Amino acid sequence: MARSARRVALVLCGVVLTVLVLLQLTSRSALPCTTNPGGRTSGVPLKEVRMAGVGPVDRNMPLIFIGGVPRSGTTLARAMLDAHPIVRCGEETRVLDSAISSFMLEVIVGHGEPAQRLCNKDPFTIKSATYLHQLFPRAKFVFMVRDGRATVHSIISRQVTITGFDLTSPRQCLRRWNTVVDTMDQQCEELGDQWCLRVPYELLVLEPRRWMQRILGFLDVPWNETVLHHEKTINKPGGVSLSKVEKSSDQVVRPVNTDALTKWVGWYAEDVVRDMAQLAPMLETLGYDPEANPPNYRQLQTDRGHEFDEDQDGDEEDAEESVFRLRLVRSMCCLRPFHSVCCLRLVRSVCCLRPVQSALRLRPVRWVLRLRLVRSMCCLRPVHQCAVSVRSSRCSVSIQYARCSVSAWSARCAASVRSRIKAINAKIK
């Protein structure tokens, strides 16, 4: 009965939402085209709007979405992008719940001054990134990540109300943060590197030029020095508009700074610090040391920490020296040589890899694979059930969870790996 009642309630909510959206669109199309003093267009039919130097607005525009758990640097990222002369993010729109692309576009377009690239900052957009990418196939997503201990400290100390977060319990908030950021991380993983970019807040504030170059390169936006001085364009024409609704507005009026990096240190109770790795396992997945108080953020290495380095496609090394970076998108990934770093993440099957000296160890979450590369020896060891297919030093790797079928082709690895495969398959059968 309870389930059927919930279903009826959801259907009714959907009907009401659809009616409201239709009424909104109808009323907007009946209004004349006007511009208010703040530069925002109002009552402009979407099909008649043309953005500066781009042409008509439609779902194939290369929109920019900025998301992440609240208090993870999303406002800072959007302010820095907003300072760029051809990008316009505007204030937080909160349009996600409308869930209809035309309505969302209408809101985003009418939310600020015209610009070549439209950007929307709404922290929870990343939770629906794959759906939004279906609506806007050329959209790109900037996923802001931050040390969960700092995020939870900020949420509670600034009393930021978020559904599902109990502001009286740091322990519960850490668990909730872990669940939310895990969902966002999986969404970003499914989109892949072409459409979703993870940006650690800590590295953005420590090395703003380097990371803004990476962000703009990912977005195909030319470099402009103004992004490093967003505070000079606050509430100026063509600059960064701030909202009283956004909790971070009072902070982004200042230049990029590192003041907030370690405010959380010493704030948590001893029992919470002791249980940190169990309360928030995504800390380690994202590259944060749950035992360090405080960590050295300058040495922060996430699973994708080398994802943006410029020389990924360098010359292939000798097999004895090679350690590969594996990148997964759904059931496929791309294998590339990169110095002595190996990064592997299985979407759905959820594996995360961290370097351990000359060996590489895969840390288990659900279905897990252990991978060791030592000199010319390749050793694949399954934990539970995983499947990997490696075909040469520059090739694809396919993953099939729920069954283990491992094979590899490499001049110096084949023999050892194939013998492993036979043993693995024999055990599974």
Quick check: helix, strand or coil at residue 39? coil
Q: What Rg do the C-alpha atoms of the chain give, in angstroms? A: 24
Distance CA 89, CA 246 (A): 14
Assess whether 284 carries a catalytic annotation. no
Catalytic residue among 92, 106, 246, 284: 92
Distance CA 217, CA 117 (A): 14
Distance CA 326, CA 193 (A): 12
If you ran DSSP here, which 8-state letter would residue 184 be given? H
Contact 104, 257 (CB under 8 A): no
Contact 372, 358 (CB under 8 A): no
Report the candidate in 14, 31, 11, 216 with the shortest Cα–Cα distance to residue 106.
31
Contact 346, 399 (CB under 8 A): yes
Contact 374, 321 (CB under 8 A): no
Owner of token pair 């759906």: 131
Its sign, for the CA torsion 348, 179, 14, 18, is negative
- Residue 200 backbone dihedrals phi, psi, to 5 degrees: -70, 125
Residues belonging to the active site: 92
